[in-house]
Amino acid sequence: MDYRSDIRNIAIVAHVDHGKTTLVDAMLKQSRVFRENQEVGELIMDSNPLEREKGITIMAKNTAVVYRGVKINIIDTPGHADFSGEVERVISMADGCLLLVDSIEGPMPQTRFVLRHALQGGLKIIVVINKVDRPDSRIPEIIRLTQDLFLELATSAEQLEFEVLYASAREGYAVSSPDIEGGDISPLFQCILDKVPPPQVAIGPFQMMVSNLDYDSHKGRIAIGRIWRGAVAPRDPVVSIGADGSVSNYQVGEVLTYLGLKRLNAASAAAGDIVAVTGLEKVKIGDTISSPEQPEALPRIEIGEPTVEMTLGVNTSPFSGREGRFGTTRQLRERLNRELETNLSLRVQDTDRADTFLLKGRGELHLAVLIETMRREGYEFEVSKPEAITRVIDGQLMEPVEMLTIDTREEYIGVLTEMLSHRQAQLTNMRSDAGGSVRLEFRITTKGLLGFRGAFLTATRGEGIMNTLYLGYEPWQGEIISTRSGVLVASEQGTAITYGLNNAQGRGLTFIEPGTPVYEGMIVGLNSRQQDIPVNVCKEKKKTNVRSSTSDIAVKLVPAVKMSLEETLDFINADELVEVTPRNIRLRKKLLTYSQRLRHARAERPVT
Ligand SMILES: Nc1nc2c(ncn2[C@@H]2O[C@H](COP(=O)(O)OP(=O)(O)OP(=O)(O)O)[C@@H](O)[C@H]2O)c(=O)[nH]1
Ligand SMILES: [Mg+2]
């Protein structure tokens, strides 16, 4: 074994929003990878449009900077629990990691998840207490909580001795002690050089693990990963070894290395570096690329199992085919298969209906992001309510269980525990401080959590943060009865008008504006009773020759309740669907006509 003292490979991991991507901004800007006066903005690595809109990282990405002649390959990772698969996928490329901990929030559920993975992977960890510029920082307490977390998760005594830096990613500095005035980010670079071990390299024929894929219209498929042994150059003959051990022959096109936001052509690259190679048309994530002389597979990447599923099928609404560019079974299948190549924690299965697929993911957001991406690409389709994935283990029905952590104000404890008791949650821990803030921890089934986020935000009037951590499978705890009331269902096809909507508002809340085209069976509102109510929102006022009063002319409608895609997934019941097109998101009953629904309800009713 040898070392590459000119390289360090690090991953940046943390709970959501603790400042990973902002820290990468500071590292990029201060290592002068940009031209003078070049406008680069903020959250540079969050390059995907949905990432920019949501303000969160969804996909792990590579970049690199050079500090004092040493190249630091940096992997930015997502902190949201639904994208945990991304962390699992890329962590093996790194020898060290920066564990960011927010100086106010402290260690959170996902901090635990990523730290556990990093420790298991044997990574050297540098703790970065971030956002120390904030006046309400609780540094000594956060350090203590972080130490507790290490005590709980460390697999060896050595791992308990970790470096700590204090940083403001946003203001671009890091210091070794909270008493030191902030300057720039160089203490962080220096710490990485000093503490993260340089990559070990094996001597021998070329061997690389593919951890990511990219596409380029000119270059074709690009395989990204770390070289473990030997070296590679353009036009080298190589083989790729697939999951089933099958071997394919290729010739390398280009070899690219990272610098800032660019990928540079290299004459060759050697073990220890993270590179991108072209020319391997069918290679997959997890495959090993190696020299034909010694084709040996590296251990494959292990990704946690999905916990939530929903169906995605061809749009069967009366408006099908009007708004999307792609929507046939074949087009949907092709698109989903393409997604499987990079979205490792996603699963797609056929169902007993040829035009419907079963999608399995790591959470509602994981699936919602895929749906939103497809809709923007011009696809239309329908999806069902997300449900927790049950399994039968040793003859027993099991379901996923999660830890739910809530940070909020004391006054909401009552309403939250009441809501959660209906969702099969058990309070496991409660801590409050003198200022009236409280942290609650619950053990809850994944099915109990589905749809809770919206209710939580309403109940706490935005004064709460909730986070979840997947714990494992436990025996089935029984059905949860839906507490949602019935919906208002359009009884006729046509265009909604003010008069009809005003009538509907007599029965409940409405979801659509006048002028919206509707079809029979489309959900247009929510009522306060248990049953669904059919309403004719296209109904016009009977024409008479006499105007009875001026109030008839200017009916004032209550503004429509608008839901985001994620909210609609939370909202619908098992007998309902969300119709997704590039232009609209509609809710509908699975059975469109009243008589169909009635017949179905009669057939379902137990015989007495
Ligand atoms: N005050 C302050 N705010 C910061 C600092 N670092 C990041 N932020 C803010 O925290 C928010 C989240 O920052 P991101 O860099 O997107 O966090 P992240 O960890 O990459 O988030 P995910 O990738 O979604 O997990 C942004 O609004 C940042 O401006 C800091 O040092 N000080
Ligand atoms: Mg980020």
| pLDDT tens digits, one per residue of 348-407 | 999 999 999 999 999 999 999 999 999 999 999 999 999 999 999 999 999 999 999 999
What are the angstrom distances between the C-alpha of 434 and each of 226, 301, 439?
Answer: 49, 46, 12
Q: Which residues pair with 444 in a beta bridge?
A: 402, 425
Share of the chain above pLDDT 70, in %: 98
Q: Give me the phi and psi of 182, to 5 degrees please.
A: -70, 140
551 pLDDT tier (thresholds 50, 70, 90): very low
Q: Give me the phi and psi of 600, to 5 degrees please.
A: -65, -45
Structure confidence at residue 464 (pLDDT): 86
* Alpha carbons 107 and 347: distance in angstroms, whole number: 31
- Give just the sign of the alpha carbon dihedral 77, 78, 81, 83: negative
Predicted confidence (pLDDT) per residue in 192-201, tens digit:
999 999 999 9
545 pLDDT tier (thresholds 50, 70, 90): low
Predicted confidence (pLDDT) per residue in 134-165, tens digit:
999 999 999 999 999 999 999 899 999 999 99
Structure confidence at residue 548 (pLDDT): 52
Share of the chain above pLDDT 90, in %: 81
CA 126 – ligand 1 centroid, Å: 18
Closest CA to 364 of 598, 117, 566: 566
56: three-class secondary structure by DSSP? coil
CA 105 – ligand 1 centroid, Å: 12
Closest CA to 436 of 407, 457, 461, 414: 407
Taking the CA of 87 as reference, the closest ligand is 1
Which residues, 6+ apart, have CB-to-CB distance to 521 below 8 Å?
Answer: 489, 490, 588, 589, 591, 592, 593
Q: Give me the phi and psi of 114, to 5 degrees please.
A: -70, -35
Average pLDDT, the chain: 92
Pair 195, 159: CB distance under 8 Å: no
Pair 276, 259: CB distance under 8 Å: no
* Beta strand segments in 112-183, E: 124-130, 163-168, 173-175
Greater pLDDT, 227 or 546: 227
Predicted confidence (pLDDT) per residue in 337-353, tens digit:
999 988 989 999 999 99
CB atoms within 10 A of CB 53: 10
Structure confidence at residue 117 (pLDDT): 92
Nearest atom in ligand 1 to 80's CA:
25
Predicted confidence (pLDDT) per residue in 47-77, tens digit:
999 999 999 999 999 999 999 999 999 999 9
Question: What angle is formed at CA 550 by the lines to CA 544 and CA 555, rounded to 5 degrees?
Answer: 95
**Whose alpha carbon is nearest atom 32 of ligand 1?**
131
Predicted confidence (pLDDT) per residue in 89-134, tens digit:
899 999 999 999 999 999 998 999 999 999 999 999 999 999 999 9
Q: What is the DSSP letter of 394?
A: T
Pocket-forming residues, ligand 1, beta carbon under 6 Å: 14, 16-22, 43, 56-57, 78-80, 130-131, 133-134, 168-170
One-letter amino acid at 256 equals: L
Termini Cα distance of the chain = 76
Structure confidence at residue 482 (pLDDT): 77
Structure confidence at residue 167 (pLDDT): 97
What are the angstrom distances between the C-alpha of 438 and each of 409, 413, 433, 554?
Answer: 6, 8, 6, 48
* Alpha carbons 517 and 203: distance in angstroms, whole number: 67
328 pLDDT tier (thresholds 50, 70, 90): very high
183: alpha, beta or left? (left if phi > 0; alpha if psi -120 to 50): alpha
Closest CA to 8 of 68, 58, 48: 68
Structure confidence at residue 217 (pLDDT): 85
Residue 553 pLDDT > 60:
no
Predicted confidence (pLDDT) per residue in 272-317, tens digit:
999 999 999 999 999 999 999 999 999 988 888 899 999 999 999 9
Q: Ligand 1, from 12, 17, 56, 98: best to mutate by most atoms within 8 Å of Cβ?
A: 17
Pair 522, 585: CB distance under 8 Å: no
Q: What is the DSSP letter of 182?
A: P
What is the DSSP secondary-structure string of 517-541? Answer: EE-TTEEEEEESSSS-EEE-TTPPP
What is the DSSP secondary-structure string of 407-438? Answer: EEEGGGHHHHHHHHHTTTEEEEEEEE-TTSEE
Q: Ligand 1, from 13, 16, 21, 22: best to mutate by most atoms within 8 Å of Cβ?
A: 22
- Give just the sign of the alpha carbon dihedral 400, 401, 406, 411: positive
Which residues, 6+ apart, have CB-to-CB distance to 37 below 8 Å?
Answer: none
Average pLDDT over residues 262-266: 94
Taking the CA of 100 as reference, the closest ligand is 1
